[in-house]
Amino acid sequence: MTVQEAPGSTRRKRSGVPEVYDFRRPMTLAREHARALEMGFETFARQWGTQLTSRLRVVAQATLDTVEMRSYDEYVRSLPPMTTMVLCGVEQGRSTAVLQLPSDATMLWVDYLLGGPGLASGPDRELTDIEWQLVRELLGHALADLHYAFASICPLDVNVKSVQYAPQFVQAAAASEPVIIASFTMQLGKHESTATFMVPAEVMLAQLLAGEALDSRTVDEVREHELALDAIAGQVQEVPVSIGVRFRPQTVAAAEIATLALGDVVPLRHRGDQPLDVVIGDVVLARAAMGANGSRLACLVVTSEENH
């Protein structure tokens, strides 16, 4: 599921191109879970931009674009054939997360780290050992902020392990395993690129579901909530409802209706021993037998409708 853009948000506008959704393999996030993850990744993006600005000595900004849940195979197929894939260890569940960065962006970082003017020319290539150590230290400080960003949502401790460059050969998860994918727009000076962070969905959702079972409210808050529910239930019970009793519907031809005149008798074909319908609007709630209560007509409910 893709998180919808909130009104007034400063995020980049999406293209509006419809996306194919496979109903045979639904990959959706509950709205409350999606919002919680969105808030965590937004906090991380702000921290990441600050980290890059201070370490690279150039104005940098990271902006969250989307948070989705897809299969790992779909995620890998969406990546370019040559890119920087930083494999990270996740303490919770001993799983593997992936931080994917465009190759030109990492080379730009290296140039700034070595005191250069911020040039990243030439074809995409793998990082040398020295360049990887520079990038690894930079990302280590940035990913440490995930713990802070998700502290109030679910614990997320990530550490850098290794780097790969061919997504199709990286087996960070099973092909059909659902994963959470956060996409970011990275702006470094005048250079703009897109980075993604992938983490197995089980790591995030298991802790979110476990947290839902915990009630951190005080005794007074619980009491106020119960009183509010009782008040709502009482108001619902007092809502006036119009109820009616009717004979079974009779189907007639349009010609018969057109020829009706004053004094005509319309046969109902409703036997006297058959119950009437007790209805609210057009919904049948019960069946009732015809009768009387003193001088007034009445009915006795004999059956209730379970499906209404």
Q: Where exactly are the structural domains of the chain?
A: 31-212, 242-261+268-308
Cβ neighbours around 291 below 10 Å, total: 9
Q: Does CATH place domain 31-212 in 3.30.930.10? A: no
Supply the pLDDT for residue 248. Answer: 77
Spatial separation of the C-alpha atoms in residues 297 and 35, rounded to whole Å? 57
Confidence of residue 6 (pLDDT cuts 50, 70, 90): very low
Dihedral sign (CA 125, 126, 132, 136): positive
Quickly tell me which residue has 């260890």 as its tokens. Answer: 89
Spatial separation of the C-alpha atoms in residues 112 and 132, rounded to whole Å? 14
Mean pLDDT of the chain: 84
Fold adopted by 242-261+268-308: Surface presentation of antigens (SPOA) (2.30.330)
Between residues 78 and 219, the one the model is more confident about: 78
Q: Kindly report the pTM of this predicted structure.
A: 0.62
pLDDT over threshold 70, residue 5: no
| Mean pLDDT of the region 84-109 | 90
DSSP letter assigned to residue 37: H
CA-wise closest residue to 162 among 96, 112, 104, 76? 96
Confidence of residue 109 (pLDDT cuts 50, 70, 90): very high
Supply the pLDDT for residue 32. Answer: 83
Cβ neighbours around 117 below 10 Å, total: 8
CA-wise closest residue to 303 among 272, 274, 282? 274
Confidence of residue 8 (pLDDT cuts 50, 70, 90): very low
Supply the pLDDT for residue 203. Answer: 84
